[in-house]
Amino acid sequence: MLLALILIIITIVLVYQAVQLSKIPKPIREQYKAIIKSCNLRKIGAGISVDDDKQILVLPGTPKIPIPLSDIVNIETDEKTRQITTTTGSVKKKGALTRGVVGMTLFGPVGGVVGAVSAKKVDNRKYTTETVTDKFIVIHTKNPYRPLLRMIYNDKLWYQLENLFSTK
């Protein structure tokens, strides 16, 4: 069952990549591959690479698309904050056995059931709420095949991109 699910996911990814590739004409794909081969790329994080000499940024995805730094329109951050509540502990019935025995002694089997059901509930649950902030980077480009890239980032990647464009 798990293997079948994994195969289905892999198939979906491959079909998605094929569809993405089919949107870009073959000569342009070949041109992109040649540009990437000729570059001296260094990774700056999250699948993004840069060639400092040629001033080219290569964005992740299928296919990898080289974008001149001059074609970057805007880079911005987007933060989404969400609350995550975690529950620990449980609700237990206290005295169910004792009440059931006393009820059965006094009123028979029906009294035993009523006694056990009427036991007090003790709530030992503790709730903790945590605030999580998801940080996204949004890169707008002039490239018609990759006009927008939105991805989760960390501060290190943002710092590297900021340094890259501050020298531009």
pLDDT of residue 6: 83
- The 3-state secondary structure of the chain, one letter per residue: CHHHHHHHHHHHHHHHHHHHHHHCCHHHHHHHHHHHHHCCCEEEECCEEEECCCCEEEECCCCCEEEEHHHEEEEEEEEEEEEEEEEECCEEEECHHHHHHHHHHHHHHHHHHHHHHCCEEEECCEEEEEEEEEEEEEEEECCCCCCEEEEECCHHHHHHHHHHHHCC
User: Over 60: is that where the pLDDT of 167 sits?
Assistant: no
Prediction pTM value: 0.56
Model confidence at 129, pLDDT cuts 50, 70, 90, reads very high
Domains of the chain: 2-84+128-166 (2.30.29), 90-120 (no CATH)
Whether the per-residue pLDDT at 21 is higher than 60: the answer is no
